[in-house]
Amino acid sequence: MRLAKYLAQCGIGSRREACRLIEAGRITLNGHIARHTDPIRLDESLNCLDSIELDGAPITKTETLAYWILNKAVGTDCRLLEQDETSLIRLLPKAPRLYPVGRLDKDSRGLLLLTNDGELTHKLMHPSFAHSKTYHVRLNRPFTDEFVEQMASGVRYKDLQTLPCQVRRLSSDSFEIVLTQGLNRQIRRMSSALGYKVIDLQRVALMTLTLKSLAEGAMRPLTPKEVAVLKAAVTI
């Protein structure tokens, strides 16, 4: 098994975060600074046969994988910064260690998946997998049918061209959009490029997951069925 994949399974973060730790020289393998290409030896029970350390502390076993859903409120910052009073880290349990799958802007709200499953995080976040995220958006004024068509066909801003997506009108000034891209502040910038301002943005679904009746600011563990359905959808 590749080192970064194993580290992700140990619950230290996503595979991308594991790569950052390796690049920073903070991971040692059998007493030597680890490299991305280093393989991990596992026995028949998938126990690691190598000595792996993070900043000198042994990584000895894989954490039990956990999956939670949060209905994030506006004002919560998804960056895990200890010194920030608005940081998501202040809402998370001490154990198990959970990390957000992607981010919602501080001024956005809605569904956020929290997990220590680095492999699932990688598959949900990597653009090559093109998994869907659904949002409800309200603008500062009523929009035309042409706006819907332009959003659905793709919008150009700065040096970017967004991919075609699904868009349907909910009211005179609100719409639903389903994205498979994950560009920074994508919906806000698409709307701005067409002359509108987003005044409310809520993520209502991530693949098979929905908020259902989860109150704003509340979080709960996923049921075994929800985890199984999500994983099955991700592997399709």
Closest CA relative to residue 195, chosen from 162, 155, 235: 155
Contacts for 2 with CB less than 8 Å, ≥ 6 apart: 36, 39, 40
Q: How far apart are the first and last CA of the chain?
A: 22
Angstrom distance (rounded) from CA 150 to CA 212: 30
Angstrom distance (rounded) from CA 53 to CA 59: 5
Angstrom distance (rounded) from CA 187 to CA 227: 28
From the candidates 105, 107, 159, 200, which is the catalytic residue? 105
Angstrom distance (rounded) from CA 178 to CA 118: 24
Angstrom distance (rounded) from CA 162 to CA 104: 18
- DSSP per residue over 135-184, as a string? EEEEESS---HHHHHHHHH--EETTEEPPP-EEEE-SSSEEEEEES---T
* Catalytic residue flag (residue 84): no
Tokens of 61: 């076993």
Closest CA relative to residue 115, chosen from 2, 227, 3: 227
What residues are labeled active site?
105
